[in-house]
Homo-oligomer: A and B are copies of this chain.
Amino acid sequence: MTIIAASEKIKHNVQDGIFVIQLDDAKSLNSMTGHDYLYLGHLMEIADRDSAVYLTVLQSSGRFFSSGANVGNIGAMQSAQDENGELGKWLSEFVSRNLFVTHVFAKHTKPIVCCLNGPAVGLSAAIVMLCDVVYAMNNSVYLLFPFANLALVTEGALSVTLPMKLGYNVASEILTLARPVTFDQLNGKVVTRNYNLKDTQEFNSQVLQDLKRATGDLHKESIPGMKRLLQRSVLDQMKRANVDEVNDALSYWVRGLPQQRFREIKSKQRIHKM
């Protein structure tokens, strides 16, 4: 029985107690299908259950961290016939996947370190906001939450993580006006170090080397021990937000509103303003 077919776009390995997951589809800017997000969540669960792992590191490749949901994939889902109607289709294609990947990240018991090599968009950007430590490759990184441009609402527990990490008013403006989150807004709040590098591969290996050196002498068990203490104050709100967000968004999908706007994005009739 296969739990989930491996995605060729996502690699992983374990090094000295550090579980490394890498998005490895630079040519699509690491866009993700629904299946890719599930597979990412599945790897997170393997890392979580492995008692030898004390840190989980998320890396990417190429220019973008991840350009978000694969627009072609949404088109395919949309044209698929479902004799039972739109409700069941979007529960399967949207609600169940977003809920799962968000839940798996929110409840992860090891600190999650994100190597942010470039821009991240949509649900992928929400995942960056769910990470505990974020390092930036340089000051060109940004996050984009274009939900109001797509006839959607917040995903990935963003309605909790965004105000918690960037401040309530900053989060409100970003979401209301579908504004990008610049490096300057992230710095010192979400991003705790800027590596000032240009090559993603060099950045990824530098971060890993730094993490190994910094934690080499530490008592590894203390590290997830403190993560579990930190997350207890916020986990219930994240769970509540997750279920509210997917169910609120469902009514937009059932009416076909985001689908229409994804089509416009694909055909360049609509852009995300920067």
Assess the A175–B35 pair: CB atoms within 8 A: no
Given contacts A233-B160, A239-B239, contact A222 B169 (CB under 8 A): no
- Report whether over half of chain A's contact residues are helix, strand or loop; otherwise say mixed: helix
A96-127 interface bits toward B, Cβ cutoff 8 Å, 1 = contact, 0 = none: 11011001000000010000000000000000
A154 within 8 A of B: yes
Given contacts A132-B168, A170-B192, contact A163 B219 (CB under 8 A): no
A77 within 8 A of B: no
**Contact residues, A230-250 vs B (CB, 8 A):** 230, 232-234, 236-237, 239-248, 250
Assess the A3–B172 pair: CB atoms within 8 A: no
Assess the A226–B168 pair: CB atoms within 8 A: no
A71 within 8 A of B: no
Assess the A229–B248 pair: CB atoms within 8 A: yes
> What residues of chain B lie closer than 8 Å to A169, measured between beta carbons?
131-134, 165, 189-192
- 20 cross-chain CB contacts under 8 A: A4-B86, A111-B176, A131-B169, A133-B176, A147-B226, A148-B219, A149-B217, A150-B222, A154-B226, A154-B229, A154-B230, A159-B233, A162-B230, A169-B192, A172-B230, A176-B223, A176-B226, A178-B214, A219-B257, A236-B236
